[in-house]
């Protein structure tokens, strides 16, 4: 455990930030799962609708630093290819 006051405060802040980032990551994974589930069901309209909701979510995570820029682009590209393949 930290002895210096500022280190103790930083440890408390890191706990909060870690929980917040975990919540954001979970929300992202959930939206990706919705898109993949719609694709697996073969419903093109539902897949496109959930894809349109997932794109801004991915962009937000990239902006917040939860996702790397290239990883976000890769997610969008692969999801788009799967939606178009239906």
DSSP letter for each residue of 62-74: HHHTSS-HHHHHH
The CATH class that applies to domain 7-85 reads mainly alpha
* pTM, to two decimals: 0.84
* pLDDT tens string 11-66: 999 999 999 999 999 999 999 999 999 999 988 999 999 999 999 999 999 999 99
Residue 19: predicted pLDDT: 97
Nearest to 83 by CA among 30, 29, 32, 26: 32
Mean pLDDT of 62-76: 96
């Amino acid at each position: 455990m930290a002895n210096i006051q500022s280190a103790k405060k930083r440890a408390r802040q890191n706990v909060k930030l870690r929980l917040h980032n975990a919540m954001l990551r979970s929300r992202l994974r959930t939206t990706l799962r919705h898109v993949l589930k719609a694709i697996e069901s073969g419903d093109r309209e539902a897949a496109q609708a959930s894809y349109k909701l997932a794109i801004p979510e991915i962009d937000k995570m990239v902006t917040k630093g939860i996702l790397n820029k290239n990883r976000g682009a890769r997610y969008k590209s692969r999801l788009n290819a799967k939606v178009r393949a239906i």
